[in-house]
Structures are given as structure tokens and as C-alpha cells.
A and B are shown apart, each in its own frame.
Chain A
Amino acid sequence: MSSHKTRLAAAILVAGALTVTTACSSGHSNGDGASASKAPAKISSISIGTAEDSKGPAAAEPGAKTGGTVNMIDRDDFSHLDPAQIYLNYNSEVSLLFTRQLTGYKLQADGSQKLVGDLATDTGSTTDGGKTWKFTLKDGVKWQDGSPITSADVKYSIERTYASFIKSGPTYIQGWISGSDYRTAYEGPYGGKQLDAVQTPDDKTVVITFQDIHPDANFTLAMTGYGIVPQAHDTKEEYDKKPFSSGPYQITEHVTDRSLDLERNPNWDPATDPIRNAYPDKWHMSFGVQLQQSTERFMADNGDDKTAFTFHNTVHPNYTDKVKGDDKLKSRTLEGLTPYVDYYYINNDRIKDKKVREALIKAFPHKQTRQLQGGTSYGDYATSYMSPTTLGYESYDPYGILQKPEGDPEAAKKLLTEANAVGTTIVYPYNNTPIQQKVTEAIRDALEKAGFKFVPKPLDAKTYYDTIALVDNGADLYWGGWGADWPTGYTSLQPVWDGRGIADGGQNLAHVNDPAINSAIDAAAKIADPVAQGKAWAAIDKQLQDNAYSIPDVYQRSLSLYGSGLGGVKFDSLMGLQYPLNIYVK
């Protein structure tokens, strides 16, 4: 037999083998996806707890056992562990295990969240509408070395957020105390100076004075970014690698980009902590596991993966149907709403005609773009700019998105014709990834049907945000996501829609500068009653939609799996991640 023939035969064999495998591929069904899409977005309510709610210990998880090691697999290492540097939800979630703040959120059995005192005995008190805040620390709260946590530690932790090496944390409290240019007002504690706005009349009391009224400052102080750091063990930049624990666990080893190991902190007293349970003895977290890998590992459920969970790795979009259709996986699948809302921002500098913006909203193919990104488990169609996880959320659908999520090209074309703007060019920059190329193709199809001229511009994923965040970005329509820093309307709306925030690198990507909106934001921020404040934010949300400033797309959902050997794994709707504090080894 000549060598030619051998090769030809081999090729035919290969082709044949492939044909055989495909013969048994069956069709795909919707699983429970179709029914889920009809159910309304589940709204998790947020309430403010009393002093009684702030007492430890935390509510026990039914059937929970103490002991064992819990594994965690995820794509990336935690980028920061120093509380003052933490803004990212992923970093915050792990910090629950070893960093405490003045206040914190207690996850209730029904999935709702309650703001309670963490180190403080309650959620703080104010007598002047939110300008001066007073917190009293609990008895028996200790650092990992057994020394007590005092009001001086709290004061030091706030002073520390002014230091020049703190670059990536939140800046609300600093700005409220010292104005937007806060770093020139105070240089941080390392030069020996103190911050007068934070007073400590005794070891247990902290009084913070702001320049203005901030009625939701107790929510702000629940951010991990305002977690406590001990002066005696502050290693400045190095603290980011290995923080000193005030929570139930302490770090034994942290190998960057590889692993993080935690063990019990013997000096943590459950009686002081209304938020945290601590069932496992140890945590072993490893990084570098891609989405597809982790999905496959959880589905296979072998060896150590049985006792594994993941903070951040969701199910790979291509596996959505498989996971939802598999009854064996149902008991260890978590699905829930994250605080993130996807928008398609319209550049209001370039598209000034409201009718054209309305036409864009009408024509936008929400259904098609969502289908490409995982369907119902990618998110629920959005009818507001605020997320349903925000206090005061109200659904409002003036453009009939829920009736026609696939877009209404005829209505859009009519609006365009009325505005005499058929053929308007829409420059659309996008992340040049395989999924986004397809999403862009779906948008192109829909907008061209409605009579727009569509010009897609591929951008590198790393520089995407930097490019569209320029005021002169040369684009008309672009995707962006936003999640609130704490669940009131302030951080959902103010950073994105306050016209005074338009700047290169700013968050006002739609370039909306509407004096009516600006003043409404100022007024709403000063309302002390949370319910009334929530209503005011919802009103602003409606005002934004009535002006057709941008296109809300979906309230992001998360679909994730964990190993069969774990119990008490819950979904944290505040962060949109798996929640570690009730986990136990079965």
C-alpha cells in the first residue's frame, strides 16, 4: 500500500468517527428557562435592623455541622485584601471572613438583607438629619491576637483611607468629611496628624462629622472599603497581601495568583457577631480556573470538588441549558439577581433629538442580545435604571420593552420618519470578543431594519472602558454596566446621571446634563426617611426614562454551581456572588 493511500484512509476514518459521535446528539429543550422568563423579577427587600437585630450570634443554618475544609475555585486571585483598597464585589465577599466594619448586612433566611451593627451595637444614630453620626462599639470584639478593638482603631482606619498609597477604594466618606479634594486637606495618619472630624470621646464611642447631610452614611460604612485596620499591625502597602483579622478566620498563607488558605481565628467571639457563622475549620481557595473548566468540574463533582464552591465563576453560557435541564444538578444550582444593570448608553451629546433616542429604544433587540449571552439566566429585561435590589425600586415601562423585547422596527421607523432622521448613523464601539461580535451582529440587524445606518467599531477588551469614557468618544451607542455601592438609589443614579460628573474617565457615559435631574438628585440625597428617599429616587428614574436618555437592557442574573458535599451555600444578592458565611461541610 502506498503512503498516499494510508493517509487517505486515515482521513476517512477520522471523518467517520466524527459522524458517529454526532448521530447521538439530541435536540435541546428550554429546560425551565421559558417558565422563568415569565416570572417577575424577584425583588429582595432591604431593611434597617434595630439594636436587637445587631446582637450576636448569627442565626444558625439548619442542619449545619462544624468542621472540615471548604474549597473555593475561581478564575482570578483577589486583587486587594487591604480593606481600604477594596471596591470590587469579589474582594468584598472574601473579606467577610476576616474583616469587620462598623455596620454590615445580615442575610435573612428568606434571602432579604438587613443592615445591622457589626462592630457597632446598632446601625448608628444621628440627631441632625445625617450630618453627625455616633456609633458605640460592642463589648468583647477582639483582633486575632486577642487585643480589644477600640474606637481608636476605627478612627485610625478612616484616617488611613486618606493615605497616598490607597488608590482603589471608595472615597465617599473622605469626600463627605473633607470635600472632593480631600487628599490636600489631610495627608493620612503616617505623618502623626489626626483627623478632627472623627472623634473618640471614649474607648467605645466614635463620632463622625460630615460637611453636609448624608442620611445613608450607615450604608456607606458597611462597605468593605471602610473595614478596620489595626495601627499596631499596619504594614501600609504590604497590608494588601495579608490583612490582620477581626473576623472568624485568619490568613495562614497567600500565594499570589495560586492560593489563599484560612484557618479559625480563636479570638473571634460569635456572641458579638450577628452576621457571621463559622462552620468549617479551614478554607482553601485556588485561582486560575476558567469558566468552562469550573463548570465542567462542578458538573463532574469529583474528589475535592465535592466540597468546593466559587465566589465569582458563573456557568459558562454554552452550558446554561445543560445545567438547567439536569435534575441532578438542580439541588446545587444557585440563581439570582445581581445588583448590576446593563445599559446601552446613548451619547446625548451627539443624538440630541428625543425622537431618535426613542426610536433607538424601540428598535433595540433585547431578546436577541440576551439569547446570545445565555438567555433568562443572563438577566431579566430591565424597565428602570435602578436595580430591583435597590431600596425604592419601581418598575416603569413607558416604551413597552416587556411586550416586545425583540424590538419594534416598525414603530421605530415611524418615529424616525417623524423626526426626519431616517438613515441616522449610529457608531457602536464594542468589545471585540466572539460573543460580542455576535451581539453586535444582532444589534446591526435590528437597527438597520428600523432605518438606522449602523457602524460597528471593534475595540480591544482591555481598553474598552477607557475609550468610551472619553467625553469626545466619537460614538453614539455603547454598552456599559453599573451596580450600586450600597442598596439605596444614591449610588445607583448619582454617579451615572449627575451632569456635573461629565469628565474624561467619569461615569456619566450618556453625557446627560439636565438641570432638573441634577437638582432632583441633590434633593433626594438629603431626605432622611429611607422610604421617602427611595420614592424620590424612583421618581428620578422615571424622569430619566421619560427623556429617553439611554436604553436599560437587563438586570443581570447569575447562575452558578457548587459541589454536592456542601450545605448552606447561598446567593448574595447585594454582591451577586456566592455567600460564604453559612457554608458547612455535610
Chain B
Amino acid sequence: MTTPTGATTDGNTSRPGSTSDLADNATADAPADPGFRGLSPGKLMWRRFLRDRTGVVSACVVLFFVAVAILAPLISMLYGKDPKTHYGQNASDLLTDSGLPTGPNGGISGDFWFGLEPGLGRDVLTLLIYGIRTSLIIAVATSVLTTAIGVALGIAAGYLGGKTDYFIGRVIDVLMSFPSQIFLIATMPVVTGLLVARDQNPPGWLPFVSVTLVLSLLGWMSLARILRGVSLSLREREFIEAAKVTGASPMRIIFKEILPNLWTPILVQSTLALPAFVTAEAGLSYLGVGVTEPTPDWGRMIADGATFLRTDVTFLLFPGIAMVVFVLAFNLLGDSVRDAFDPKTNR
């Protein structure tokens, strides 16, 4: 799209965050002139979002997954199965001699709605909902952590400039040049090994914490870079200068003046990052370095299922479809959120 010359636009329309400038103006203007644009930017955004049908459907799907994850223990209780009991191995007629389910379609029956896991014979439905829970806990924790690190370092680099900017910039360069998958595989056992004594079972939270830490360590850079760029341009703007003149501390300028203008990129980036972390976590488990047995895990289920592709495809089907649907919905949601915040962005 070509920008019309001589238009009243101030030249930064294509920049994310520019609508949030409006936010400042609007909140400033609103009390003075109640007739002018009766809606706050937040409400505007919400309206735009509701008009986007894909976005709403995606949001419902995502909410459904979140609800399933949160309510997993309740579902398991109502359904009467848990993900740790080896139903197939405890009964004699559910699995064949070499561990495949005897029933058709992977052993789907009134007792086992999604069938049985080949081998140990655990219940696939509870394995899946607890696996989703594991993955979402890790992905959400990682998103929160990376966002916090990214916001702090990105704004600091952009606003403070100079040596701080240079130093943070180089750290980002180094971390980004790391082949992250290989680095994760190499560091995961080390992190676990450091924290657990030889004769002790690792506490249940440990794999969660170590996967989250390792993923966060390598996941914050892109957000930090974007925020650095935006705050670099913001710090030359008049309202920041004004704040400086009135003697505001850098801390106040960062949190009260710059940060409110950055919510759009932060929100968009983190909604897009969350499904990426879900897949990254699944990838780690797929490679055998993530969350270990007996904690159910989504990625590991898919890895296990892949080896039964020809002999018991049902076992791969449920976690696979759930993963495709979830990641797709979350990505579409991310797109919609961005469109709603920043309708001028051309995709």
C-alpha cells in the first residue's frame, strides 16, 4: 500500500504501537469531550475482535483446551480413570501378547473412550488431558518468563542506549546464533543431573522447572529485539522529552511512559509465542529430553504414537489431532489479536 503523500498521518502508521499513541490521546481527550468517539481503544479493539469470526472460534477452541487442562483432575475423577494405572497390563484380555489393544480402533470402548495405549495399556483420554495440562503449564510459564525478560531487557536496551544497548544487543546476537534444538538436548540432562542426588527420585516439579528454564533462556530474544526497536523510536518523542524535563526518573519513564505504548507488540508476540512453546516442549519430549515417565506428556505421546503408525494408528490420532487443532487455533487467535489491535498492519 502506498502512503498518500501529504496526508495527516504522522509517518509512523506502519509501526506497531502507533495505535496506542491514540490511547494516550483518547484518554487525555475523553473527559474533556465526551461526544468525541465514545469508545476507549480497548473497547474498540474488543469490537474489532468480535467481528472477526475466525478469531472468536479460535479463542473458543483455545479456551476449551485451557479448561480441559485446568479441569483434568475433575474430568479424570468423573470419568473414573487415571493416567497412571496400567489397565491393559493388569487385565488379561485388553492387550495382545505383544501389547497391542485387542479391541478394534485401538481398543476404543465404553470404558476407554479414546482407546488404550499399546504396551502399558494406560487410558488414552486421561493420558491426553494430563499431557495437555503438562504442556500448557510449561508453555504458559515459559511465555510469562520470556515476556518478562524480553520486556525488561528490550526496553532497557532501547531506552538507555549506549553501552547497555550494545551489551544486550551482543548477548541477543550470541543467543540467537545458538542452534537452539541442539543446545536444549545438550543442556537438559545436565540441568537435571545438577539438581538431583544419586539415590533420590527427582521431585515431580523438577522436569517442569528445568524445561521451562531452558526454553525461557533461549526464547526471549525476538521479543526483546522488537521492543528495543520500538522504544528506541519512542524515546525521541515529545512526551518522553516532556517527562524528562519535568525530572522523571528513567524507571518512571520506562514503566509509566514507554511500557503502556508497547502493550500491542507484547500481547501479539506472546500469543504467537505460546503455541511455539507448546510445540517446542513437545519436540523436546519427542527427542526424549523433556518430561519423563510416568508424568504424562503430549509430545511424548505423539512420539510413542508415531512408532505405531502402521499397527495402531488410533493411538497417534488423538494426541496428533489435538495438537494440530490447538496450535492452529492459537496461531489464528494470535493473528486476530494483532488485527484487532492494529488494523492498519498490512499482512
Chain A interfacial positions (CB closer than 8 Å to B): 2, 4-5, 7-8, 11, 14-15, 18-19, 21-23, 25-31, 33-34, 37, 292, 296, 317-322, 365, 367-368, 371-372, 374-378, 406, 425, 427, 432-434, 437-438, 440-442, 444-445, 454-458, 460, 474
Contacts and interface: CB of A to CB of B under 8 A. Distances in A.
Given A25-B106, A427-B198, A434-B304, A318 B310 contact: yes
B345 interface: no
A207 B201 CA distance: 59
Contact of B57 (A8, A18, A33, A376): A8
A425 B199 contact: yes
Interface in B108-167: 118-120
Which residue of A23, A292, A438, A444 has the most chain B CB atoms within 10 A of its CB atom? A438
A372 B201 contact: no
A322 B118 CA distance: 14
A25 B303 contact: no
Given A427-B198, A441-B294, A22 B86 contact: no
A444 B89 CA distance: 13
Given A25-B313, A321-B98, A445 B86 contact: yes
Interface in B293-336: 293-294, 303-304, 307-308, 310-314, 317, 320-321, 324-325, 328, 332, 335-336
Contact of A37 (B97, B288, B320): B97
A28 B312 contact: yes
B99 A375 contact: yes
Interface of B: 52, 54-55, 57, 86, 89, 95-107, 118-120, 189, 198-201, 288, 292-294, 303-304, 307-308, 310-314, 317, 320-321, 324-325, 328, 332, 335-336
A372 B100 contact: no
Contact of B293 (A368, A378, A441): A441
A30 B199 CA distance: 40
Given A322-B310, A375-B97, A434-B303, 14 more contacts: A11-B324, A27-B103, A27-B104, A28-B102, A31-B96, A318-B312, A320-B98, A321-B96, A365-B89, A367-B89, A427-B198, A441-B86, A442-B86, A458-B292
Contacts of B201: 454-456
Contact of A27 (B99, B101, B288, B324): B101
Nearest to B54: A4
Given A371-B95, A434-B288, A27 B102 contact: yes
Given A318-B307, A434-B304, A455-B201, A29 B314 contact: no
B325 A372 contact: no
A18 B317 contact: yes
Which A-B residue pairs are the 7 nearest by beta carbons? A375-B98, A375-B97, A33-B97, A4-B54, A28-B100, A27-B104, A320-B98
A322 B314 CA distance: 16
Contacts of A33: 96-98
A22 B313 contact: yes
Nearest to B192: A458
30 contacts: A4-B52, A4-B54, A4-B332, A8-B54, A11-B328, A18-B321, A22-B106, A25-B313, A27-B103, A28-B96, A28-B102, A28-B311, A33-B98, A34-B97, A296-B310, A318-B312, A321-B96, A321-B100, A321-B311, A365-B89, A374-B99, A376-B97, A377-B98, A434-B304, A442-B86, A444-B294, A445-B89, A455-B200, A474-B198, A474-B199
Given A8-B57, A321-B311, A371 B288 contact: no
Contacts of A26: 104
Contacts of B312: 25, 28, 318
A361 to B, nearest CB: 19
